[in-house]
């Protein structure tokens, strides 16, 4: 009886349905923000190791291989978000057993899927690189790197899924600690595996991928041990281990709701790649300046994305608890915090733009004035982007996943490129930079209208109810849109 009662009552830790909203939301978002910063720094440090130890050809090879990983991770992001929301709603209802069922289905299904992808990817790697048009000189290096990365894929994707599931139960600190472990091992072991220091064999470019493999497998195993050692609520014991056999209803919900969130990442990426192609036509200095601006924007957008993740977890729990009055309050607080944090960061970066941008290029670089100009015209769009992220996080937490995809696709494809083509004749390259705030303004207007309309409240993120008329309409409309940034920069 005691165990049964415990399965229906979430512990105080991770309960996002009570207490002061502003303090709770910020405390939840900060570890998520730290995790995002660590991931970005990890990629930067690894690129430095490869570039300095192996040269530009190896760096180009890793870039081609990482494009493949980004596409795969994008889909897992969608399914991870779906499981996060389902777990959060079950948690808010006090249904710990329901949260464990979702966790079991997500973990069991994707453990099998990631292993299949890893094996297939290992053998299909040459064909994949050929499809990407990898330059001949970089192809052998890219192949050696990509094959090891595919072997690391099960740990990398499962670790991401587990971390997102823990956030759904209101725990954002545990994922941070194990992200630190993965990043420290990945970045720290790079020179050892590349150069072959001590008993470690010299592996060249494959050594960089091997450090990723070791870091993520160690972190994944450590996270499993920690979950059971600390008896965290999502652990599975006894009969609950049967939850690892995917429940068809739960799995269907994860796929149906997760797919559009994964496609969203692809839409953002394709839009950014097309934009880079347009920028490259402006010359080497402009392309370099835009590349530096993109590096800066990677960090500028992080507070908004972390707050969006926090809002999603908090709203999903409150929806599960039936506390709709707190849903609106969480959204408003999230918007205010996003504006304040992102706005403060933008003011600081603008006041010190020469100093900050000089970190990426010399102070006498001819690209520096161009980068400062791009920053002044485009960077403030992240204020609008942050508000949009909070609104999208709120509606997705109730299962409305297609409308955000449609809104983003409209803004990032026809609106952005239509605006650039229409204004390029008299604005020149400034048409590209001003397309960022224009796109964000259109996206925010559409997102705000959808949120205020309230139809998203009729959507459902459950495994027991049939979709209602509004949700079916939403999904039908989504099929009319094409299914987009290397950094999701708005």
Q: Is the pLDDT of residue 481 over 60?
A: no
pLDDT per residue over 37-95, tens digit each?
888 788 777 777 777 777 766 766 676 677 677 777 776 778 888 888 899 889 888 89
235 pLDDT band (50/70/90 cuts)? very high
Q: Is the pLDDT of residue 472 over 50?
A: no
Q: Is the pLDDT of residue 362 over 90?
A: no
292 pLDDT band (50/70/90 cuts)? confident
Comparing 70-74, 132-136, 278-282, which segment has the lowest mean pLDDT?
132-136
Q: Is the pLDDT of residue 468 over 90?
A: no
184 within 8 A of 39, measured Cβ to Cβ: no
Residue 88: how many CB atoms within 10 A of its CB?
A: 31
470 pLDDT band (50/70/90 cuts)? very low
- Residue 39 CA to residue 256 CA, distance in Å, equals 28
Q: Which pLDDT does position 488 carry in this prediction? A: 37
With a CB cutoff of 8 Å and minimum separation 6, the contacts of 191 are 49, 53, 197
With a CB cutoff of 8 Å and minimum separation 6, the contacts of 36 are 302, 305, 306
Calculate mean pLDDT across residues 123-148. 80
226 pLDDT band (50/70/90 cuts)? very high
Percentage of the chain lying above the pLDDT 90 cut: 46
Q: Which pLDDT does position 67 carry in this prediction? A: 65
pLDDT per residue over 236-251, tens digit each?
999 999 999 999 999 9
- Residue 235 CA to residue 165 CA, distance in Å, equals 11
Q: Is the pLDDT of residue 162 over 80?
A: yes
pLDDT per residue over 440-457, tens digit each?
999 999 999 999 998 898
Query: Where do the domains of the chain lie?
Result: 15-246, 259-478
Between 360 and 185, residue with greater pLDDT: 185
Calculate mean pLDDT across residues 91-112. 92
Calculate mean pLDDT across residues 265-289. 81
> Which residue is it, tokens 């495994």?
463
pLDDT per residue over 430-440, tens digit each?
999 999 999 99
Between 261 and 193, residue with greater pLDDT: 193
Q: Is the pLDDT of residue 466 over 70?
A: no
> Which residue is it, tokens 């991931």?
39
Comparing 159-163, 386-390, 417-421, which segment has the lowest mean pLDDT?
159-163
Q: Is the dihedral of CA 41, 44, 47, 53 positive or negative?
A: negative
Q: Which pLDDT does position 75 carry in this prediction? A: 66
Helix %, strand %, coil % of the chain (to 5): 80, 0, 20
Between 216 and 478, residue with greater pLDDT: 216
Mean pLDDT of all residues in the chain? Answer: 84
Q: Which pLDDT does position 18 carry in this prediction? A: 86
- Residue 476 CA to residue 465 CA, distance in Å, equals 18
How distant is the alpha carbon of residue 323 from its chain centre? Answer: 27
Local structure of 69: helix, strand or coil: helix
Q: Which pLDDT does position 471 carry in this prediction? A: 38
pTM of the model: 0.80
């Amino acid at each position: 009886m005691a165990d049964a009662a415990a399965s229906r009552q979430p512990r105080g830790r991770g309960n996002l349905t009570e207490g002061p909203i502003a303090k709770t939301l910020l405390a939840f978002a900060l570890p998520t923000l730290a995790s995002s910063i660590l991931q970005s720094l990890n990629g930067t440090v690894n690129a430095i190791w490869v570039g300095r130890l192996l040269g530009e050809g190896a760096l180009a090879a890793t870039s081609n291989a990482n494009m493949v990983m980004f596409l795969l991770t994008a889909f897992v992001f969608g399914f991870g978000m779906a499981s996060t929301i389902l777990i959060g709603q079950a948690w808010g209802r006090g249904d710990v057993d329901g949260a464990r069922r979702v966790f079991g289905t997500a973990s069991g299904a994707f453990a099998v899927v990631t292993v299949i992808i890893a094996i297939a990817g290992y053998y299909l790697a040459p064909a994949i690189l050929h499809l990407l048009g990898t330059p001949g000189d970089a192809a052998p290096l890219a192949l050696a790197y990509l094959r090891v990365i595919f072997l690391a894929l099960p740990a990398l994707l499962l670790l991401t899924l587990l971390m997102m599931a823990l956030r759904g139960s209101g725990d954002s600190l545990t994922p941070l600690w194990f992200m630190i472990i993965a990043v420290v091992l990945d970045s720290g072991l790079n020179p050892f595996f590349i150069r072959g220091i001590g008993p470690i064999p010299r592996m060249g470019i494959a050594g960089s991928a091997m450090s990723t493999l070791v870091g993520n497998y160690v972190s994944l195993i450590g996270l499993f041990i920690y979950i059971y050692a600390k008896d965290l609520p999502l652990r599975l014991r006894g009969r609950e281990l049967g939850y690892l056999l995917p429940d068809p209803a739960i799995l269907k919900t994860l796929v149906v709701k997760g797919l559009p969130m994964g496609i969203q990442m692809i839409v953002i990426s394709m839009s950014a790649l097309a934009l880079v192609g347009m920028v490259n036509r402006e010359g080497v200095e402009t392309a370099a300046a835009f590349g530096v601006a993109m590096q800066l924007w990677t960090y500028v957008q992080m507070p908004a994305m972390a707050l969006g993740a926090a809002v999603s977890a908090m709203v999903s729990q409150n929806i599960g608890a039936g506390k709709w009055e707190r849903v609106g309050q969480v959204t408003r607080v999230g918007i205010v915090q996003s504006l304040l944090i992102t706005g403060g960061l933008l003011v600081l970066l603008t006041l010190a733009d020469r100093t900050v941008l000089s970190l990426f290029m010399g102070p006498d670089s001819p690209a520096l004035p161009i980068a400062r100009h791009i920053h002044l015209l485009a960077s403030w769009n992240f204020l609008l982007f942050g508000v949009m992220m909070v609104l999208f996080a709120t509606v997705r937490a109730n299962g409305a996943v297609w409308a955000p995809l449609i809104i983003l696709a409209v803004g990032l494809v026809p609106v952005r490129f239509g605006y650039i083509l229409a204004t390029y004749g008299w604005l020149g390259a400034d048409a590209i930079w001003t397309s960022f705030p224009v796109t964000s303004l259109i996206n925010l207007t559409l997102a705000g209208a959808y949120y205020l309309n309230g139809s998203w409240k009729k959507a459902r993120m459950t495994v027991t109810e049939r979709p209602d008329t509004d949700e079916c309409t939403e999904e039908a409309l989504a099929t009319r849109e094409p299914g987009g940034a290397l950094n999701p920069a708005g």
